[in-house]
Amino acid sequence: MIHPEPPAGRLAEIAAGLAGVERRIEEACRSAGRSRDELTLIAVTKTYPAADLRLLASLGVRDVGENRDQEAAAKAAECEDLPLTWHFIGQVQTNKARSVVAYADLIHGVDRERLVAALSREAVRQGREVGCLIQVALDDRPERGGARPADVPVLAAALAGAPGLRLRGVMAVAPLGADPGEAFGRLFDVAQAVQKEHPGADVISAGMSGDLAQAIAKGATHLRVGTALLGRRTPFVR
């Protein structure tokens, strides 16, 4: 396959973004008394071309995140030769389970039992083991996705018992306009309760470009960073 050359200067641009994000992570770790090793940085590459994933990989990034199946599936195919771990961070429609299971290593948006059943069926059919995070709604707006904290224990039990799936932990987005530190504190409490029942489920996916320091302070293990690494997105590039 022929890979188009990225525009001159793009490597330097991404390298500068990465250095800036790493500086912010280091600083937040220092304030929180945590070690950088406890954190996985996921480069959120939605709307950016596969060429940018190649540049990220050349800079040592190993984790990438996408939120739309069609776009993610195409990029995963284009980047098959790269040593990347694929995170699906969007809402998963049940009828996309087959496609998402084929390339995703960790699915961050599991929020209902019907989806657990669909993903499990596909994982078994494809002979894959796929990690799953329960998306927790930190506000009362279920249309944005996520399970209510009260519903998490039942969903966690369903995931833990689902063939082909592995419950790895929880994920959330800080509600718009809310104090992210306070919201991530509540996520941490939910994560602790899940871990008590399921000791292997130790992932907390929280923190984006604007609130990664608050997420690190509240125990995040996985950060999902797009804009600060790659620049401001223009929708529908592809």
Burial bucket for residue 132 (CB in 10 Å: 0-12, 13-18, 19+): buried
Instruction: State which of residues 45, 67, 120, 214 lies at the interface with ligand PLP (CB under 6 A).
Output: 67
C-alpha span between 120 and 163 (Å, rounded): 6
**Minimum distance between the CB of residue 45 and ligand PLP, rounded to whole angstroms?**
10
58 or 227: whose CB is closer to ligand PLP?
Answer: 227
How distant is the alpha carbon of residue 77 from its chain centre? Answer: 19
Please work out, in degrees rounded to the nearest 5, the angle formed at the alpha carbon of residue 42 by the alpha carbons of 55 and 71.
70
Q: Looking at beta carbons, which residue is closest to ligand PLP?
A: 226
Q: Using the rule CB under 6 A, is 225 a contact of ligand PLP?
A: yes
49 or 153: whose CB is closer to ligand PLP?
Answer: 49
Q: Which stretch binds ligand PLP (CB under 6 A): 2-10, 177-185, 194-202, 206-214?
A: 206-214
Instruction: State which of residues 31, 93, 192, 227 lies at the interface with ligand PLP (CB under 6 A).
Output: 227
In the chain the first and final C-alpha atoms are separated, in Å, by 19
C-alpha span between 22 and 5 (Å, rounded): 26
User: How many Cβ atoms sit within 10 Å of the Cβ of residue 26?
Assistant: 12
Q: Using the rule CB under 6 A, is 173 a contact of ligand PLP?
A: yes
Helix, coil or strand: residue 130: strand
Q: Residue 149: which of 186, 176, 202, 203 has the closest Cα? A: 186
Q: Which stretch binds ligand PLP (CB under 6 A): 20-28, 80-88, 195-203, 226-234?
A: 226-234
Instruction: State which of residues 28, 76, 89, 147 lies at the interface with ligand PLP (CB under 6 A).
Output: 89
Q: Using the rule CB under 6 A, is 222 a contact of ligand PLP?
A: no
Rule CB under 6 A: which residues touch ligand PLP?
A: 44, 46, 67, 89, 173, 208-210, 224-228
